[in-house]
Every structure is written in structure tokens, then in C-alpha cells.
């Protein structure tokens, strides 16, 4: 089975041996990734062997073919990384944009446009989203949980007592 484009977020330090089959021959190479880093893969298959002494922990986000994920940022609209110092781009490629957000208590991210996206909570917390119509919605973040959000304009406020940290995985096509 051929797997589509995907990204991998390293939850721990990774030390892998990748094995790929190309027609009649096999190719292998070693790769190391620091915890908290992201790397992408194009469509295809490969095997991996964990070369580390500890279990490898990582998340895989796979892009599936769907018109639902086709979106672009409207002309003149700001993205989250353009609208705040609390968001850092970890990986932009043709299929995904991965952003890490670390928002202190009481801080806000101004109105910006976000593509269809998954939000993965790296810790617990509470945020309030304000949509394009000015309606506010409180959302509990629970470490390890994923939620889907459709494209649109929004502002975000950390409405809890502690900092919140989450990944935003936008589907670019």
C-alpha cells in the first residue's frame, strides 16, 4: 500500500534506520531527529527500525485526498505566524504547515486566517476562540487530544490560569 504525504512530529529523540524499496533494489539510511521537531515525507512506503535504547514516540499526520482540505489564505489576510510572536513555524511544505503555539495566561493572538487544520494539545489548558462573526467559544485543551477546525478567521485568547502549548497542522492542499 502506498501511503500519502505525511508529517512526523518527534515526541522523543528519534534515531531510526529507514529502509525503502525502489524497484529491484533496497536503500537504507540512518536519521536522527530531536524531540519537538517535525519532518515530512512524500507519498510512498518505507520501513523503520528504532536504533535508540528507548522506545520511539512520535505522531504521524497523514494527508488524505479530499476536497475538504483544499484551501488557501485569502489575499491580504494574516496567518497565525504573521499575527503573533507566540507562534513558530516548524515545517512549511507543499502539503502542510506545522506551527507550534505557546500562549501565556491572559495573552491573545489577534484575528488571523487559518486553513483547515488539526490542533494537537501538548498540554492541558483553556482557550477562547472568537470567530469572524464575533462569537466566542471556550475550548478545553487536553494533552494528547486532537481536534479538527475548518478554515476561517479567528482570534485566540488563553483564558486559563497556566500557559497553553499546542501544534497547529494546516492542510495546504
- Where do the H-state alpha helices sit in 50-171? 80-83
Residue 74, pLDDT > 90, answer no
Same domain, 19 and 81: no
Left (φ > 0), alpha (ψ -120 to 50) or beta: where does 36 sit?
A: left
Residue with cell 523503520: 48
Domain count, the chain: 2
Residue 172, pLDDT > 90, answer no
**Is 68 part of a structural domain of the chain?**
no
- The string of pLDDT tens digits covering residues 112-146 is 999 889 999 999 999 999 998 999 999 999 999 99
Q: Mean pLDDT score of the chain, rounded to an integer?
A: 87
Same domain, 119 and 34: no
- Residue 12's nearest CA partner among 47, 59, 61 is 59
The pLDDT > 70 percentage for the chain reads 93
Same domain, 87 and 150: yes
- Looking at residue 142, what is its pLDDT? 97
- The string of pLDDT tens digits covering residues 37-67 is 998 887 777 788 999 999 999 988 877 665 5
- Residue 9's nearest CA partner among 118, 112, 86 is 118
Cα(149)–Cα(119) distance, integer angstroms: 8
* Cα first-last separation, the chain: 22
Same domain, 54 and 77: no
- Average pLDDT score over residue span 142-159: 94
Same domain, 164 and 116: yes
Cα(93)–Cα(97) distance, integer angstroms: 6
Q: Quick one: which H or E segment has residue 81?
A: helix 80-83
Cell of 9: 512530529
Residue 23's pLDDT band, with cuts at 50, 70 and 90, is confident
Domain that holds residue 144: 73-171
Same domain, 55 and 83: no
Task: Output the domain CATH number for residue 125.
Answer: 2.60.120.10
pTM of the model: 0.83
Amino acid at each position: 500500500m502506498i501511503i500519502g504525504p505525511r508529517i512526523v512530529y518527534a515526541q522523543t529523540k528519534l534515531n531510526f534506520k529507514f529502509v525503502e524499496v525502489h524497484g529491484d533494489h533496497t536503500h537504507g539510511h540512518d536519521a536522527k531527529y530531536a524531540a519537538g521537531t517535525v519532518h515530512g515525507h512524500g507519498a510512498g512506503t518505507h520501513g523503520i527500525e528504532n536504533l535508540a535504547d528507548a522506545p520511539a514516540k512520535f505522531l504521524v499526520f497523514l494527508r488524505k485526498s479530499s476536497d475538504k482540505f483544499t484551501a488557501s489564505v485569502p489575499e491580504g489576510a494574516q496567518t497565525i505566524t504573521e499575527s503573533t510572536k507566540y507562534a513558530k513555524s516548524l515545517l512549511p511544505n507543499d502539503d502542510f504547515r506545522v506551527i507550534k503555539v505557546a500562549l501565556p495566561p491572559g495573552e491573545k493572538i489577534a484575528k488571523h486566517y487559518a486553513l483547515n487544520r488539526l490542533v494537537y494539545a501538548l498540554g492541558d489548558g483553556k482557550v477562547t476562540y472568537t470567530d469572524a462573526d464575533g462569537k466566542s467559544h471556550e475550548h478545553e485543551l487536553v494533552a494528547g487530544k486532537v481536534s479538527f477546525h475548518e478554515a476561517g478567521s479567528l482570534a485566540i485568547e488563553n483564558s486559563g490560569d497556566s500557559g497553553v502549548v499546542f501544534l497547529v497542522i494546516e492542510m495546504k492542499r
